[in-house]
Amino acid sequence: MLFAKLASPIEFRCRPYEECLSEVVVTHSPRYLIDMNLEKGKTLFDKIKTPYDTLRKNENPIKPIVAYYKSKLKHGEDLWWIDQENTKSSNLVIRVWNNLSIIEKQELKNKAMVYFPELFSNSSEKFGRFAIWLVTREAIVCPNIRDMFTAGGKGKIVIGKNVFSNVPRIFLNLFENFDSIIERLVLTSPSELSEHWGFKTTERGKVADWIELVAENSRKISDAKHLNIKEMLKAMTK
């Protein structure tokens, strides 16, 4: 790697390529950040513990880099660029939520209720991961994510012969679209669900795992104390 500064004072610097790549930065896709003064042992390849010569021969060289940066993410953060194995948004147009069709809005809400069970909690950060996913994976911006799940007040739901009253809107959305949500859950691979949920699930156990996650998150919602969400969900699956 040869750099030259031709303005006064003139300066030339030359180093092996693998000794001056410090980070990966993003323009429209991942790019290496070059530092000709980088200290020994501080390269990107030192960070990912993979020699440059090994990485460049890898069929998917960006994969170990993605894995490294994912390991550094804080709760609720995500990478908005991708490795070659994933299928995040490739849409160059960013859309606004209100411009979507009713059908598309509901499909995205169904996915959200599968992928992000913390939506059913009382956490002040419960919409964060979904907001990031919506932008990075679907190229959609929604300025009022809370309203799409909670607007409309409480209502009642009938499950079998039982009538449940004063059900918070987010659970009405869950039960009223339950069949479509379960279909989305069944169609989603265990590996993708494991990534979203933060633990390993299986094809056989993913429905039960999801019910447990929703039930666990809903326990601290004061307006849902009168509801046994876990038993209601289990009844819906019979």
Whether the pLDDT of residue 85 is over 80: the answer is no
- Do 66 and 100 lie in one domain? The reply is no
What pLDDT, on the 0 to 100 scale, is given for residue 84?
44
Residue 89 lies in a domain: no
What pLDDT, on the 0 to 100 scale, is given for residue 228?
94
Give CA–CA dist 34/32, Å, rounded.
6
- Do 31 and 149 lie in one domain? The reply is no
- Do 20 and 107 lie in one domain? The reply is no
- Do 65 and 105 lie in one domain? The reply is no
- Contact, 171 vs 226, CB < 8 A? no
pLDDT digits 0-9 by tens, 7-63? 888 889 999 988 888 877 655 456 778 888 899 999 999 999 999 999 888 888 888
- Do 28 and 142 lie in one domain? The reply is no
Residue 76 lies in a domain: no
Residue 139 lies in a domain: yes
pLDDT interval class at 91 (50, 70, 90):
low
pTM of the model: 0.69
Strands (E) across the chain are located at: 2-5, 11-14, 21-26, 30-34, 95-96, 140-141, 155-159, 162-167
Residue 86 lies in a domain: no
Residue 79 lies in a domain: no
Residue 41 lies in a domain: yes
Whether the pLDDT of residue 83 is over 50: the answer is no
When pLDDT is averaged across residues 113-132 and rounded to a whole number, the result is 93
Mean pLDDT of the chain: 87
- Do 63 and 102 lie in one domain? The reply is no
| Tally of domains within the chain | 2
- Do 60 and 116 lie in one domain? The reply is no
Residue 224 lies in a domain: yes
- Do 67 and 102 lie in one domain? The reply is no
Domain that holds residue 22: 2-71
Instruction: Please state the φ and ψ torsions of residue 70, each to the nearest 5 degrees.
Output: -65, -35
Tokens of 29: 């896709």
- Do 60 and 142 lie in one domain? The reply is no
pLDDT digits 0-9 by tens, 176-232? 999 999 999 999 999 999 989 999 999 999 999 999 999 999 998 988 999 999 999
Residue 53 lies in a domain: yes
Among 39, 71, 103, identify where a domain stops: 71
